[in-house]
């Protein structure tokens, strides 16, 4: 099984930039790159911050862009989004309580897409109603389960980022703990950083976003940090025994150098590039 994760695409009006980068152009570039090399993926998940300001026009633009993508695409909600406008554009994504969360059958198990949005807040929220919905899904699904969400449920130990992580992280952790044996992986966005960790033994992963990049400044106390790093998305390969996720830096514009053959017999001082 192969699936893709895009995150923090932050769509804006055409020509507008964020940090000097055009998020619409970069999203299109990322999709073109992914479809060139991974058009055989069975799903593409966009883990939130679909729009930069939650404008209705951005969600229509997203629908227009995705119309030509041959892979099924599943958008999630992030803190920059507006739930009502996102639901209006993608009504099939709402659960009975109005949250933007749903399940997706995969060739290997099921994906659960969660709503961690809260009004007038960059931090994540996971109320009792959402927790009950997640518990119900986990109770009925045999697994493996792949959870997708926007906000990180584990602290980064970077003070400004931890102020806007999932505030109800304890509730989320308590909800998934009894089902940890059937949850294969958790994927999130929000941080604009490549991250790997675990929660109750469940692996966590986040790639850098498709536009502006974050920077892990462990001395920061108030402000978030950014850096001029390549735009990226993630591709995951999975089978019944293993999972491997790559962060694909499609925004890298430098040279790709051949280093030499991996065969041991070919490793010598003449042929290896050093």
Q: Is residue 125 part of a domain?
A: yes
Q: Is there a domain that residue 271 lies in? A: no
Q: DSSP secondary structure string, 80-100?
A: TS-HHHHHHH-GGGB-TTS-B
Query: 2: helix, coil or strand?
Result: strand
Chain-centroid distance of CA 143 in Å reads 20
Q: Is residue 49 part of a domain?
A: yes
Predicted pLDDT of residue 12: 98
Peptide bond into 272 cis (omega under 30): no
Task: Give 8-18 pLDDT, tens digit per residue.
Answer: 999 999 999 99
Per-residue model confidence (pLDDT) at position 154: 98
Question: End-to-end distance of the chain based on CA atoms, in angstroms?
Answer: 36
Residue 203's Cβ-count burial label (10 Å; 0-12, 13-18, 19+) is middle
Residue 274 belongs to some domain of the structure = no
Cβ neighbours, 10 Å, residue 266: 11
In this structure, what token pair is assigned to residue 22?
A: 């055009």
Q: What is the CATH number for 230?
A: 3.60.21.10
CA–CA gap between residue 111 and residue 145 (Å, rounded): 6
Average pLDDT, consecutive stretches of 10 residues, N- to C-terminus, the chain (274 residues): 98 96 98 98 98 98 97 98 98 97 98 98 98 98 97 98 98 98 98 98 98 98 97 98 98 91 84 75
Total number of domains in the chain:
1
pLDDT (tens digit per residue) in 54-68: 999 999 999 999 999
Tokens coding 126: 């996971």
Alpha-carbon gap, residue 243 to 250, rounded angstroms: 21
What is the pLDDT at residue 273?
74
Answer yes or no: is 14 within a domain. yes
Residue 273 in any domain: the answer is: no
* pTM over cut 0.75: yes
Interatomic CA distance for residues 231 and 27, integer angstroms:
9
Q: Which residues of 52-66 are buried (b: 16+ CB within 10 A; e: fewer)?
A: bebbeebbebbeebe
Q: Are 77 and 86 in contact (CB under 8 A)?
A: yes
Q: Are strands 213-214 and 226-227 parallel, antiparallel or unpaired?
A: antiparallel
Q: Which domain holds residue 92?
A: 2-266
């Amino acid at each position: 099984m192969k699936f893709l994760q895009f995150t923090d695409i932050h769509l804006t009006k055409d020509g507008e930039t964020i940090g000097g980068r055009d998020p619409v152009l970069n999203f299109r570039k990322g999709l073109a790159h992914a479809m060139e090399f991974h058009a055989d993926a069975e799903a593409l998940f966009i883990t939130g911050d679909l729009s930069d300001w939650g404008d209705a026009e951005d969600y229509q633009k997203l629908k227009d862009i995705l119309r030509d993508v041959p892979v099924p695409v599943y958008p999630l909600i992030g803190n920059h989004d507006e739930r009502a406008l996102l639901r209006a554009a993608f009504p099939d994504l709402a659960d009975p309580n109005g949250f933007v969360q749903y399940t997706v059958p995969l060739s290997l198990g099921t994906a659960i897409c969660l709503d961690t949005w809260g009004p007038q807040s960059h931090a994540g929220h996971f109320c009792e109603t959402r927790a009950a919905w997640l518990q119900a899904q986990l109770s009925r699904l045999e697994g493996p389960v792949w959870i997708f969400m926007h906000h990180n449920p584990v602290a980064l130990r970077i003070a400004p980022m931890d102020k806007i992580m999932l505030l109800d992280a304890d509730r989320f952790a308590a909800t998934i703990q009894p089902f940890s044996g059937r949850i294969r992986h958790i994927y999130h966005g929000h941080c604009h950083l490549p991250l790997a960790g675990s929660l109750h033994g469940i692996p966590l992963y986040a790639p850098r976003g498709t536009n502006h990049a974050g920077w892990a400044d462990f001395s920061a106390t108030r402000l978030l940090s950014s850096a001029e790093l390549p735009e990226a998305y993630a591709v995951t390969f999975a089978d019944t025994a293993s999972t491997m996720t790559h962060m694909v830096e499609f925004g890298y514009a430098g040279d790709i150098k051949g280093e030499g053959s991996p065969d041991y017999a070919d490793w010598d001082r003449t042929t290896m590039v050093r």
